[in-house]
Structure formats: C-alpha cells, structure tokens
C-alpha cells in the first residue's frame, strides 16, 4: 500500500496544476487560483501499489480513472498516462525524503521551446537537415533533487614564479630571470554548493545550467509539484559530499591562484587544502529536459527552469566546418594581397 496525493479544484473538482506565470495552483476549468503556500485541500488517498519485476518499478492505480500508473521507485511526482491527473507519491517527499526548500518553475513549456529555437539560431555549424527534420520527441519539467553543502576550506599553497626582464647593452641583448617562491594561506567559507542527487540525469547537464538563485526558494510543499515530474534523491549525502568537496577545493585553488599578481610565469608547486564539514540541505530545483530525435539518435538538452540558461550538444556539419575554414583562409589571403598591393602603391 502506498499513498498518493492528487490536486482537485475545491470549486469544480477540476485538475489543478502549478502555473509559472501566477506562481499559483490553477484550475483550467473554472479559472480558480490557489496559493500553494496555504492550499491544503489536495486529497491524500491510499492506493494499492505493487512492486514489479526487479523492485525498481512501482505500480499505482489512478483514483480518477482507475488507470495504471507505473513509476520508478524514486519517482516523487508524475501524472496518469491515461487521464493526465497529476499525482505526488507522498512517501517520496516526506520523512527522510522531504526537501527543505524548492525553487518553483518560473518558465513554462512554451518558453522552453522558444529557448530551444533561440539556441539553434546562429549555430552556423548545425547541419541544415537538423533544423528541418529534428523533432522534439519529449519535453518535461522535472524537479531535480540536489544536495547543498556548506563548508570552510583552510588552504596553504606554494607557487613557483618568474619575472623576466630584457634590455640592450651595446651589442648585447640581456635577459634577466628572477625566481620567486610564493606562499598563500587563508580560509574560505562556502555556502550552498550544489550537487545533483539523482543518478538519472547527466551531471554535466545539471552542472552546466547552474547557478540557481536560492533566494527565490520556498519552503518545500508538494503543492509546487502538480503538472511536473520529480525524483527523490538516489545518491546519498555522504557520496555527494565528496563531489562538493572537490568543487570547493578547485574553487579555493583557483581563487588563491588569482591572487598571485603579475609574474611572467606562475605555477602551483604544492598545496594542502582541508575542508571542514558545514551545513547540508536537501532541495529541489526546476529543470526542463528536451529530447530531440535526429537521424536515429536522441540529443538531450536542459534548461534552468528558473533562469532560462539553456545547454546541450548539437551535431556539427563537418563539410560546413571545412567550407568556413576555407572561406576564412581565402579572406585572409585576399586581405594579405590587398595589403601587399597597398604597400606596392605606397613605394
């Protein structure tokens, strides 16, 4: 047995979804609008749920239409494939799985499609066929679980640096190289370093759409979820902390490197960075995922559902690359010829 929650309009029984424009739960039938921070009329109901095959799939029954909802065991929000009724899997957003904060979606599906088209614009290496034939196979808004870590990095770094000076003395050209040993030490505090807590989404995508603005986050409520998908974390905080620590160490190291000033060369020779454990929070961040089908291959794009930052890999047309290189080369040659011609005229 398992608990589902659905979101019925108190006025007409219609299906409520979270609306990005008004930031309210909205009923498309009677235009009713409800504040997600106080709305508590969604109905929790217990449904029979069966584990299926390898225990990773859970089967629920939709209360609205009796249809079967099959979901991954980590799914926290989904919808009935038959009637579209949005449901929240209560046990995956409560207890140890309850996020502290959620950043609600600010951008909707239409805006995600627009950003995708903008993203393609100006990509000169994109095969022409991609524009005409690639189709958006799937587009969905997902609340991605993240761990946020805080901590303090104590660092000591040594650098080998040189300064080089040239001057002329009579017939001689002199070079003087001065060698320096630099030392930097200090502490840096970090807050809310994000680590994607879901193994289902490519970390490269989720890191590329950062940053999210945590100032706009709300205290978590499942009322932000209807109409979207959500996953609970399946990577533990302990595992994620190592990743956060390596991000903290990298940032600290580049911060210290940026203070070494004006040397002709400067390379870190050794360093010790120790990170003391700080805060740890669990949150959900809004992400649009687009799967695009082209030439038998799926290309995945991601958009930050709060800021609109858009990322993804596109196929590139090698013939176009060659022709661009060729035209650059011809352009340079033409320019050189023109310069030579002008020099010739000036003689």
Site residues for Zn ion per CB under 5 A: 9, 11-12, 14, 27, 29-30, 32, 62, 64-65, 67, 80, 82-83, 85
DSSP assignment letter at 95: G
Backbone phi and psi for residue 101, each to the nearest 5 degrees, phi listed first:
-135, 160
Report, in Å, the least distance between residue 15 CB and Zn ion: 9
H or E element at residue 250: helix 237-257
Compare residues 34 and 159 and give the one whose CB is closer to Zn ion: 34
User: Strand locations in 204-315, DSSP E?
Assistant: 218-219, 229-231, 265-294, 297-304, 310-312
Report, in Å, the least distance between residue 39 CB and Zn ion: 13
Compare residues 65 and 191 and give the one whose CB is closer to Zn ion: 65
Report, in Å, the least distance between residue 6 CB and Zn ion: 9
Report, in Å, the least distance between residue 79 CB and Zn ion: 8
Report, in Å, the least distance between residue 72 CB and Zn ion: 18
Compare residues 85 and 240 and give the one whose CB is closer to Zn ion: 85
Compare residues 26 and 101 and give the one whose CB is closer to Zn ion: 26
Compare residues 16 and 201 and give the one whose CB is closer to Zn ion: 16
The CA dihedral of 318, 321, 323, 329, to the nearest 10 degrees, is -140
Report, in Å, the least distance between residue 47 CB and Zn ion: 11
Compare residues 82 and 341 and give the one whose CB is closer to Zn ion: 82
Report, in Å, the least distance between residue 298 CB and Zn ion: 27
Residues 11 and 181: their CA atoms lie apart, in Å, by 74
- Location of structure tokens 């650098």: 159
Q: Is the dihedral of CA 64, 68, 74, 75 positive or negative?
A: negative
DSSP assignment letter at 319: H
Nearest to 224 by CA among 280, 282, 284: 284
Residues 32 and 29: their CA atoms lie apart, in Å, by 8
The DSSP bridge partners found for residue 69 are 60
Compare residues 12 and 164 and give the one whose CB is closer to Zn ion: 12
229-261 burial string, b = 16+ CB within 10 Å, else e? bbbbbebebeebbebbbebbbeebbeebeeebe
């Amino acid at each position: 047995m398992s608990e589902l929650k659905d979101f019925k309009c108190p006025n007409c029984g219609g299906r409520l979804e979270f609306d990005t424009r008004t930031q309210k739960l909205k009923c498309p039938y009677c235009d009713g609008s409800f504040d997600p921070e106080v709305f508590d009329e969604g109905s929790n109901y217990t449904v029979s749920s069966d584990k299926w095959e390898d225990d990773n799939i859970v089967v629920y029954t939709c209360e609205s239409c009796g249809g079967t909802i099959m979901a991954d065991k980590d799914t926290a929000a989904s919808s009935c494939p038959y009637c579209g009724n949005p449901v929240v899997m209560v046990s995956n957003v409560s207890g140890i799985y309850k996020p502290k904060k959620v950043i609600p979606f600010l951008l909707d599906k239409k805006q995600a499609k627009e950003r995708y088209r903008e993203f393609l614009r100006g990509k000169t290496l994109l095969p022409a066929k991609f524009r005409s034939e690639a189709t958006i196979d799937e587009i969905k808004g997902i609340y991605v679980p993240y761990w946020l870590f805080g901590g303090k990095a104590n660092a000591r770094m040594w650098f080998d640096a040189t300064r080089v000076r040239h001057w002329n003395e009579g017939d001689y050209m002199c070079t003087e190289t001065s060698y320096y040993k630099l030392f930097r030490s200090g502490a840096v505090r970090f807050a809310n370093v994000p680590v994607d807590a879901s193994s289902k989404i490519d970390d490269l995508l989720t890191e590329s759409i950062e940053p999210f603005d945590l100032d706009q986050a709300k205290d978590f409520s499942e009322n932000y979820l209807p109409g979207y998908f959500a996953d609970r974390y399946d990577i533990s905080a302990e595992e994620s902390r190592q990743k956060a620590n390596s991000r903290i160490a990298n940032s600290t190291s580049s911060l210290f490197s940026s203070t070494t000033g004006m040397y002709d060369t400067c390379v870190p020779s050794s360093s010790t960075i120790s990170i003391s454990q700080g805060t740890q929070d669990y949150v959900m961040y809004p992400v649009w995922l687009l799967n695009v089908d082209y030439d038998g291959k799926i290309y995945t794009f991601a958009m930050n559902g709060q800021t609109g930052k858009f990322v993804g890999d596109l196929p590139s047309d090698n013939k176009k690359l060659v022709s661009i290189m060729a035209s650059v080369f011809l352009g340079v040659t033409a320019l050189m010829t023109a310069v030579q011609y002008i020099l010739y005229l000036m003689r």
